[in-house]
Structure 1
Amino acid sequence: MNVAKLLEKRRVDWTELERLCEAMELRGSTDSVSPKHRGASGVARFSSLYRAACADLALADAYQLPPNTVTYLHRLVARAHNQLYRTHTPAPGGWFRILFHEAPQRIFNDGCVRVATLVFFGLFALSMVMGAAEEQFPGFAERICGTKMLEGTAESFKEPLAVRPEEYTARAAFYIRHNTGIGLQCFAYGILLIPCLVTLAYNAIVLGATFGYMSRDGIEGADHFFEFVTAHGPFELTAIALSAGAGLRLGMGLFYTRGLSRVDSVRQSGRDSVPVMAASATMFILAAFTEGFLSPSGAPYLIKVAWSIFSSGMITLYFVVLGFPRHESDGGSLVRTARYADLVDSRLSADEGDGDAT
């Protein structure tokens, strides 16, 4: 029997263990799954499936199955372990693990995040160039944003930035609410894919056209405008792209089920999108505090530029260094697969001999 047949045979038990874990997480017992999972029989079945999954994980680790299968089994075993030996004591390191381990790994390898990033920053840069090049693209920014809006933006930055310190907290609270609203909108529309991409593209084009217009020669208030947006721009723009990527991941689960039921696929995609959305929310909060306290302050522009460079470097470090795959090279995958297949055949023969399906 080859590896694919073994995985298909074992996947039935893995799916059952997932359902039991979900029932225990939501209701504290396995009674709601099916009549055979009620009471002591449900606990016994859960324990049996947990032990079998541990054995499968040991084999997968020893014979180096494809990384996605090993990762799935690691998560399934950990999830079952937490329910079997759960305690009411909160884990203070849970959010730290999500933000600094799961999130960067997910972001680096998630195709939906890549698509959202390319769409947002690509359209933003293109719109900014077209908005600034008035001779080559006359009236582009005015058609996108409206003349009244652009003139109002320029008007609001005529005076030097000098917000009173007592206003900082109120501004930070406002920007947290405003920025979070943008992120939630992109995330919520992601379930339908197209509305999410349209919202993301719209925000990218409008922002890019505004930046391009303000960078033209002779626009009054341009210096103050860029002094204001420099500090918080990296966090805010990145957070918008991440929230859209998390939403797209959720939508992909609805339309691309990978052999699961549609409900299970959406549920799995939702779990996959949680670390991405957690990183996005963190960056929205950092952007809001920067926008409320540093951006409108009278601090020297050099300090704001330095903070922007520092935050951009930290974002790059977060995505690339923490997110870079840590799996071993697959150069010997054919040999490992053959060795694993041999072990699988011997194990299945033993299972069929004693009638044990697991």
Structure 2
Amino acid sequence: MESAVLKSTQFRREREPSWRELEDLLEKLRKGSPRSLTPQELTRLPTLYRGALSSLSVARSISLDQSLLAYLESLANRAYFQIYGPRKGFFAVASAFVRRGFPAAVRELARPILLAILLSVIAAFAGYFLCMNNAEWYYTLMPGSAAQGRMPTSTAAELRAVLYDHDTAPGDMLSAFASFLFVHNAGIGIVCFALGFAFGLPTALLLIQNGLMLGAFVALYVSHGLGIEIGGWLIIHGSTELLAIMLAGGAGFALARAILFPGGKTRLGALAETGRTAGQVALGCVLMFCVAGMLEGYARQWVVTLWARYAIGGLMLAFWAFYFLQPLPPAPDDESQ
């Protein structure tokens, strides 16, 4: 026991000055930036880091006391993150994601996203024509919680009131219905992505169901002579919210594709690689749902002029088209070249 203590003490005495020097440099970096170090100190830092790693390796091999091992592990970890860790702060990372990460991920998953859009559009048209030909289909396609009392038996005046009644207090029927739609659509989008690993089948079913409900809802208003009005009511937030659902569905399909068709990679490896890109799309969809929530909570309920509703929705569509199709800024690796 005494021999081990002596060995540990001698080991510390011989190498501790370099550890202290490394600690001092790390503290300077923590309080400032690499510019706070002199050129000599910057040159010295990697050498001291490698020395700490060597000390840790030796300490482990000769089984020195646990307190010394814990100290050296902590020192080595701190040095690693200061030397090799990311230099960008939260806002820089968020800015890079919004400017390049999200649109680049959407472009990379263009095919599965187009599949999600195609399924949603076909389902919406199917729901519309089914309900226009037979109003009874509305009760099948639109669950009671989603209908919120809006049925084929409702009068045109009752349906119009939902679209233009903006003078009532918060918490009224209009606010409750708008909140329901946002929560429902956001939930659909998130689940579409999350269930992509189940070979994409739940994702496809959810997209089809959502499209059928949308088509049935539009058919209800068209059958009462309110087609243009319901278009204006939906486009303000739908141009963002429905697009986000389709993007999330495309991300789910990308996960399914990685599992079903991994190519030359293992399924786990293909899923991990695709999952990083799909995860970026899903994160971007969360931001889009937040934007849609603000449009739904304010613009749609307080902008009652029909042309203004279409103008806002059209501008949002144009914005998203430009955002996803514009030339991307160079990647960080490209900037350094």
By the TM > 0.5 criterion, same fold?
yes
Shift of 1:117: 1.4
- Tell me which residue corresponds to 1:68: none
SS at match of 1:181: helix
Separation in 1, partners of 2:282, 2:209: 20
Aligned pair 1:206/2:213, yes or no?
Answer: yes
Q: What is the root-mean-square deviation in Å for CA atoms of aligned residues?
A: 3.7
Q: Alpha-carbon deviations, 1:269-328, whole Å to 9, x = none?
A: 2101122112211221111111111212253222211101101111111222247999xx
Q: Alpha-carbon deviations, 1:49-68, whole Å to 9, x = none?
A: xxxxxxxxxxxxxxxxxxxx
- Tell me which residue corresponds to 1:183: 189
Contiguous gaps of at least 5 residues in structure 2 = 1-52, 58-79, 332-337
Separation in 1, partners of 2:182, 2:81: 34
Query: Aligned runs of 1:119-134 on 2, under 5 Å?
Result: 119-132=119-132, 134=133
- Tell me which residue corresponds to 2:11: none
SS at match of 1:93: helix
Distance 1:115 1:323, change over 3 A: farther
Q: Alpha-carbon deviations, 1:14-59, whole Å to 9, x = none?
A: xxxxxxxxxxxxxxxxxxxxxxxxx55999xxxxxxxxxxxxxxxx
Aligned pair 1:96/2:95, yes or no?
Answer: yes
Separation in 2, partners of 1:40, 1:148: 65
Higher relative contact order (CA 8 A, sep 6+): 1
Query: Aligned runs of 1:228-267 on 2, under 5 Å?
Result: 228-267=233-272
Query: Aligned runs of 1:1-358 on 2, under 5 Å?
Result: 85-87=84-86, 90-110=89-109, 111-132=111-132, 134=133, 139-145=136-142, 152-154=149-151, 155=154, 157-159=159-161, 160-164=164-168, 177-192=183-198, 193-216=200-223, 218=224, 225-297=230-302, 299-322=304-327
Q: TM-score normalized by structure 1? A: 0.58
Contiguous gaps of at least 5 residues in structure 1 = 1-38, 44-80, 327-358
Distance 1:88 1:163, change over 3 A: farther
Distance 1:279 1:122, change over 3 A: farther
Q: TM-score normalized by structure 2? A: 0.61
SS at match of 1:296: helix
- Tell me which residue corresponds to 1:55: none
Q: Which has the larger radius of gyration?
A: 2
Q: Alpha-carbon deviations, 1:121-172, whole Å to 9, x = none?
A: 232234324433x2xx67444443379976922546342421557559x868
Shift of 1:205: 1.2
What letter matches 1:247 in structure 2? G
State the percentage of identical aligned residues.
20
SS at match of 1:257: coil
| Conservation of the 8 A alpha-carbon contact between 2:159 and 2:221 | no
Separation in 2, partners of 1:311, 1:235: 7
Separation in 1, partners of 2:186, 2:261: 28
Range with bigger deviation, 195-204 or 272-281: 272-281
| Conservation of the 8 A alpha-carbon contact between 2:303 and 2:309 | no
Separation in 1, partners of 2:145, 2:182: 26
Distance 1:233 1:87, change over 3 A: closer
